[in-house]
């Protein structure tokens, strides 16, 4: 329902903006545009601003959904790290110490990502986009770290 209102608002603003006559259609001689065009332009700008605000509100309105999904993903990531740690603990050899340091680094990235998610959970509407992008960047780094660790482990430690 909210997304349909958003789409309708956007298309109304777009249609209104496209319906306005361009000032380049008239010869310019240094004079201002006529009052009717100025009113139309002001209305178009207001409608566009309203549509933009509606899109931002919609993204912020889904914050709880985003946080819940990311919490679930982080739980799964923690479980994966635990499985990798168990694999390292059951192994022997010189690779075990190096594997432990790689797992420790991934664990630190997980803790950092959890902090970012906590900030996202506490974000205000004005800070939401910045906090969300910071979390996504941290989460991508965490996933890359775990993938690299998993690959390294598969090469160094037999299954």
Identify the DSSP state of 93. S
- Contact at 8 Å (CB) between 135 and 146? no
pLDDT by residue for the chain (159 residues), tens digit each? 455 555 565 556 555 555 555 445 444 444 455 677 777 777 777 777 776 666 566 678 888 888 999 999 999 999 999 998 988 888 777 778 888 888 999 999 999 999 999 999 999 989 998 998 899 899 999 999 989 888 888 887 765
Cα gap 95→50, rounded to integer Å: 59
Cα gap 117→138, rounded to integer Å: 9
Residue in 53, 58, 49, 45 with CA at minimum distance from that of residue 16 = 45
What is the pTM (predicted TM-score) of this model? 0.63
């Amino acid at each position: 329902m909210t997304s349909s209102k958003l789409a309708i608002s956007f298309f109304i603003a777009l249609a209104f903006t496209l319906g306005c006559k361009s000032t380049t259609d008239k010869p310019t001689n240094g004079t201002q545009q006529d009052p009717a065009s100025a009113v139309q332009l002001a209305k178009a700008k207001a409608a566009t601003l309203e549509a933009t605000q509606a899109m931002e509100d919609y993204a912020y309105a889904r914050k709880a959904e985003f946080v819940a999904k990311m919490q679930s993903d982080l739980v799964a990531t923690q479980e994966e790290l635990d499985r990798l740690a168990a694999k390292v603990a059951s192994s022997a050899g010189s690779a075990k110490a190096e594997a432990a340091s790689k797992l420790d680094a991934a664990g630190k990235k997980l803790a950092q990502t959890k902090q970012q998610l906590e900030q996202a959970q506490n974000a205000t509407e004005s800070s939401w986009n910045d906090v969300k992008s910071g979390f996504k960047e941290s989460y991508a780094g965490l996933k890359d770290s775990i993938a690299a660790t998993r690959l390294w482990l598969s090469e160094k430690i037999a299954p």
